[in-house]
Amino acid sequence: MSHLPAPDPDALAHSERLRALIQEQIFAHGGAIPFSRFMELCLYAPGLGYYSAGATKFGDSGDFVTAPELGPLFAACIADSVAPVLRELGPQADFIELGGGSGAFAEVALKKLLALDALPARYAILEPSADLRERQRERLREHLNPLLFDLVEWLDTPPQQAWNGVLFANEVIDALPTPRFAIRDGEVFEEHVALDGEGRFQRVDRPADALLAAAVRHVERQLEAPFAEGYRSELLPQLPYWLQAVIGGLQNGALLFIDYGYARGEYYQPQRSDGTLRAFRRHQLVADVYAHPGLQDLTASVDFTALAEAGTHAGFDFAGYCTQASFLIGNGLQQNLAAAEAKAHDEAARYKLRQEAKRLTLPGEMGERFQVMGFAREIEFAHAFVAGDLSWRL
């Protein structure tokens, strides 16, 4: 929480521009905007938001390290897990990646799918950030041979026409702007962001609309206990609509989501009474989610029970739910590590690969905090969930 260097003057000026934009929106909306709108502006305001503007974000010099940034093992295992699906669907199958980050995942996945003789007809990236798109394009142009690079395209919207294939998203749902709810006098309120007398952001609660209130009551019914007075957390009532939208016209194929989160009973534990919302800058947790808008990542954990409901409501069969460690180990981690070590030039490179395998799988690292959920339609995908079934928790 401490020892964070102050942002440099350019970064501060950038953040002040975003702050002014958010202040304008608050005025324009009668003095308060829902927290989800605040988060959306902080992350995605064109040219200013955290993901829309040109800060480093990913990797050791950025704000967080995602699994594909650690090295090649994560993407190689995911490619192993979906290769049978792509092969069964045949040469017209597509692979769609949501939120491609730095392009690290696509680079390794495409090379591995080629090696597995399971290349998709096209590898499409649905990326809302223009800045990240550009970075992905540069990286993939530089690191892929032209045959593979030609398979890559960027989508502005989810594919509306019928398609078959695989939809994959790592750490995307945690970045969706989330509403926050609070229980006051037994009623459901929605957290908003207003301005105090000095123009600083401040939290205010307003009565929740029908959609959010119904979603909170649905969770209470499922947990068989009302939330306590003052309880506050996140909930994405629009997750089923979001999922339907990103799937687009997918007919036959598989969906694969990886993120940090919990099954519902753990997510909404009574002691987690201020939710899972977190702000990060330079690998450090920042206590103030209002600090330096645009310069820090805002993220909330995923309710995997809600994801299971959304996937099945969208007409897919549930294929499995397990920890990231179980999934990677069940989909060739050992073999991918051995193959990468065999190709490594020196002991330092081999050491780095072994460290990567540990960070991906150890319980205190990403192994258990990150979880994997899959769905399928008209295709077999349960083969990918061979170990460590957690579906009983949902």
Ligand X SMILES: C[S@@+](CC[C@H](N)C(=O)[O-])C[C@H]1O[C@@H](n2cnc3c(N)ncnc32)[C@H](O)[C@@H]1O
Rounded to an integer, what distance in angstroms lies between the CA atom of residue 50 and that of residue 37?
14
The site for ligand X, by CB under 6 A, has a size of 19
Told to check if 68 binds ligand X by CB under 6 A, we report yes
Rounded to an integer, what distance in angstroms lies between the CA atom of residue 109 and that of residue 96?
12
Residue 355 Cα distances to 51, 103, 331, 359, 362, angstroms: 28, 21, 18, 6, 10
**Span from 110-118, 169-177, 267-275, 317-325 in contact with ligand X (CB under 6 A):** 169-177
**For ligand X, which residue of 26, 132, 300, 319 counts as binding (CB under 6 A)?**
132
Residue 43 CB, nearest distance to ligand X (Å)?
A: 7
Is residue 38 classed as helix, strand or coil in its secondary structure?
A: helix
User: Count of CB atoms within 10 A of residue 230's CB?
Assistant: 10
Do the Cβ atoms of 192 and 205 come closer than 8 Å? Answer: yes
Told to check if 128 binds ligand X by CB under 6 A, we report yes
Rounded to an integer, what distance in angstroms lies between the CA atom of residue 71 and that of residue 76?
10
**For ligand X, which residue of 126, 277, 333, 353 counts as binding (CB under 6 A)?**
126
Told to check if 371 binds ligand X by CB under 6 A, we report no
Do the Cβ atoms of 332 and 74 come closer than 8 Å? Answer: no
**For ligand X, which residue of 36, 81, 170, 178 counts as binding (CB under 6 A)?**
170
Residue 260 Cα distances to 102, 256, 324, 356, 369, angstroms: 19, 14, 9, 18, 5
**Span from 164-172, 216-224, 312-320, 373-381 in contact with ligand X (CB under 6 A):** 164-172
Told to check if 303 binds ligand X by CB under 6 A, we report no
Tokens representing 74? 């994560």
**Span from 16-24, 172-180, 309-317, 362-370 in contact with ligand X (CB under 6 A):** 172-180
**Span from 1-9, 125-133, 219-227, 373-381 in contact with ligand X (CB under 6 A):** 125-133
By the criterion CB under 6 A, which residues form the site for ligand X? 51, 66, 68-69, 98-101, 105, 126-129, 132, 170-172, 175-176
